[in-house]
Structure 1
Amino acid sequence: MKRKTIIFLVLIGLGVGSLVLYRITTNDKNDSERAGNVAGGRIQTKVYGKVIKGKPFSDHLSLSGSIEPNEIVDIRPEISGIVEAISFSEGGRVSAGQVLIRINDVELRAELSQAVTRNSLAGENARRAKLLLEKEAISQEEYDIASADYRTAKAQIQVIEAQLAKTVIKAPFSGTIGLRNISKGSYITPTTSVAQLVNTDRVKVLFSIPEKYVQMVKNNSSIKLNIQGSREDHTAMIYAIEPIVESATRTLQVKAIADNSAQSLIPGTFANIVFPLETIERGLLVPAEALIPIQNGKKIFLLKNGKAFESLVETGARTKEDVLILSGIQEGDTVLTSGVMSLRDGSPVQVTLR
């Protein structure tokens, strides 16, 4: 037992001794490298860099919007009555002018028959009054009364015919009709919602632009959009712009219209919108990791004569990995991209280009 213990302790001692020897050797090597990198009494920091070259860059805004139907109406009757017939299928397509429902019109037709009879009598009385007036058998006033009664009876017919026309409800435009809220035999009034009729052959896209970019919004310009759950991109054309900026949000409302013949865009859903701003022929893009936030904005380090020098920059749009630099660097500059957090202005650096 003691022999095994002694052997175990010896093995541990050998392991510890090997580890100490490895650390001493490594430290000596690092000291040698560090001594070789000393320039003017200062140590060169190892960093990575990138030579900036101008390339085309399309700037854009990523916005959220909502999709609306091209046309939508709540079908309601203009008069009260009993539903006699329903001539559409829920969720089906209907054409402009197609009859949707009929309201019982028996009472109105009886009133029309009565009005026609009164009109015939009033017309005959007016004809007789005219003959009597010519023979000076009645006064002008009596003739005027008879003539007015005739015109009133005629107008009454027109009123009843208009009421009869309202007993037939037709589709004002082609589209898809929704779920109905009535049944045959229901008593409906002008406040009753029969169903919604929606036209989605084209859809409208409503979104808002920050006031900073309102000068770039033009009618007939195109935008790109897509919806959640779909990778398909759609194109819409701006056709209407609100004339004033909303004071509460400092944004300008804009409407665009898109073709939806495939019925892939559903009204009421959110849309991810790409609004194009401008295309820069030689944009200067730097990796996002090269930017260092400071109190007055952002800075980067540039390589000049083997040293790192600070440069305040103005940034623009960004991609997943890069940021557009509007001012502060020039094409051909070497930007230090990583290992820069510990640098100071004028620090000597050893740069590996990527």
Structure 2
Amino acid sequence: MRQRYPSVVLVFACLSLAACKSQDQAKAATVAAPAKVTAQVVQLQPWSDVIEALGTARANESTILTAKITETVRRVNFSDGQAVQAGDVLVELTSSQQAAQLKDAQAMAKDADRQYQRQQDLVKQGTVSKALFDTAQASRDSNSAKVDAIRAQLSDRVITAPFSGVLGLRRVSPGTLVTPGTEITTLDDVDLIKLDFSVPETLLGALQTGQEVQATTAAWPERTWQGKISSIDSRVDSASRSVLVRAEILNPERVLRPGMLLSVKVFRAPRDVLVLPEIALVQVGTDAYVFRIKPDDSVEQVRIVPGARRRGEIEVREGLQAGDRIVLDGTVKLRSGARVAVEQRVAATTAPASN
């Protein structure tokens, strides 16, 4: 019995050794197998930085129509929201007394002019003195001035549109007693919208007149309006450390209205930069890394300095060069020095100049 035990031990030892070798071979095969990843070659692409802000729409021209005198409304010649042309008569105030005074003044001015003409002929003949002629001339000028004064009073009783635009709500009716400052209606020229928005002073150097802007509003989220910067305020607000910028946007359909809140994007001049999909980025604390594929299909972890972002893409300021291959998908299972097998190589697409 004692002689059989060594044989049994030897058999079990051999079996254990074969099992261990099999496990080691499996592990070695597993370690040696390259990780399957997708990759992309980094290329220079056009990139346009965007300044975003909120702005308020203002009419190209805007005014509140009021009366200059105290008088009752005789006639209203417009309706709510009506489009009018410059010079259209909107409201007529009572003016019968002034009309009668005008007729009287015109008659007196006509008579004074006849006297002046008669005296002028007589002074040429030497039958009247120069003093009488001067008196006749003064009378003519005085009566003519009275006519002009009464006509000015009549014009104050006719309220016209100072420019073409769209009227607001009517605030008066025939018979209403209006006084100076009484609001009759509003008038806005909205064919061109002035969009005012504030930008931090740190971005002042990136702004210039003529730059393109893009505006959207929550009222019509599917629409976009294009415009250009028309002016930049000459002062920086000392409280907010921002500068007021004004852009002009064509509004032929008159969809945009004064007072609306719009989201504004200002596009800077395009520049060529290295661009990566954000999926390739490995964030470790405050540092950003990517896995670069070397010529022998092994990978190395490279620290990069990211810049601006847009729609799933990121600008690379430092760390990579054009032509480098980087791992897109499969970075979780990678370590520096690991070998990879590229299943799919994603072509670097040229991104649009705006984000």
Q: TM-score, normalised by structure 2?
A: 0.72
Once the two structures are overlaid, the 10-residue window that deviates more, 222-231 or 93-102, is 222-231
Counterparts of 1:209-220 in structure 2, within 5 Å, are 209-220=199-210
Alpha-carbon shift at residue 68 of structure 1 (Å): 2.0
Matched, 1:300 2:292: no
CA apart distance, 1:159: 0.9
Asked if residue 151 in structure 1 is aligned to residue 141 in structure 2, the reply is yes
* Cross-structure match for 1:6: none
1:272 corresponds to which residue?
263
* Residue 230 of structure 2 corresponds to residue 239 of structure 1: yes
- Are 2:99 and 2:154, in contact at CA under 8 Å, matched by a contact in 1? yes
1:248 to 239, 254, 259: 239
Cα-to-partner distance string for 1:254-288 (whole Å, 9 max, x where unaligned): 22222222233233222222321132345322416
Residue 201 of structure 1, aligned match among 183, 191, 208: 191
Counterpart for residue 257 of structure 1: 248
Q: Please tell me whether the aligned partners of residues 280 and 331 of structure 2 are also in contact (alpha carbons under 8 angstroms).
A: no
| Corresponding residue number in structure 2 for 1:23 | none
CA distance in 1, matches of 2:118, 2:251: 66
Render the CA deviation track for 1:309-347: whole Å, top value 9, x for unaligned.
Answer: 45251x33211322111223223445566897999xx95
Are the aligned partners of 1:59 and 1:279 in contact in 2 as well (CA < 8 Å)? yes
Paired position in structure 1 for 2:312: 321
Letter in 2 for 1:84: R
Q: CA RMSD, aligned part only?
A: 4.0
Q: Distance in 2 between matches of 1:276 and 1:149?
A: 69
**Closer/same/farther in 2, CA of residues 303 and 54 from structure 1, 3 Å limit:** closer
1:68/1:288 CA distance change after superposition, 3 Å: farther
Aligned partners of 1:322 and 1:245: how far apart in 2? 33
Change (3 A) 1:258 1:81: same
Amino acid at match of 1:311: R
Pair 210,329 (structure 1): closer, same or farther in 2 beyond 3 Å: farther
Q: Structure 1 residues 244 and 351 mapped into 2: Cα distance closer, same or farther (>3 Å)?
A: farther
- What is the match of residue 71 of structure 2? 81
Note the C-alpha offset of 1:86.
0.5
2:158 pairs, out of 159, 168, 192, with: 168
Counterpart CA distance in 1 for 2:284 and 2:160 is 64
Q: Secondary structure at the match of 1:265?
A: coil
Contact kept? 1:51, 1:334, Cα under 8 Å = yes
Amino acid at match of 1:221: Q
Deviation at 1:84, TM superposition (A): 0.5
Q: Is the 8 A contact 1:108 1:163 kept in 2?
A: yes
Q: Deviations over 1:284-305 (max 9, x none)?
A: 224167253756xx43244476
Cα deviation code 1:37-82 (max 9, x no counterpart)? 49xxxxx9x8977545115233232332222222222111222211
Aligned residue for 1:79, secondary structure, equals coil
Percent of aligned pairs sharing the same letter: 24
Q: Distance in 2 between matches of 1:252 and 1:110?
A: 57
Give the alignment partner of residue 43 of structure 2, picking from 19, 36, 54.
54
**Equivalences for residues 78-227 of structure 1 within 5 A:** 78-120=68-110, 140=131, 147-227=137-217
TM-score, reference length from structure 1: 0.72
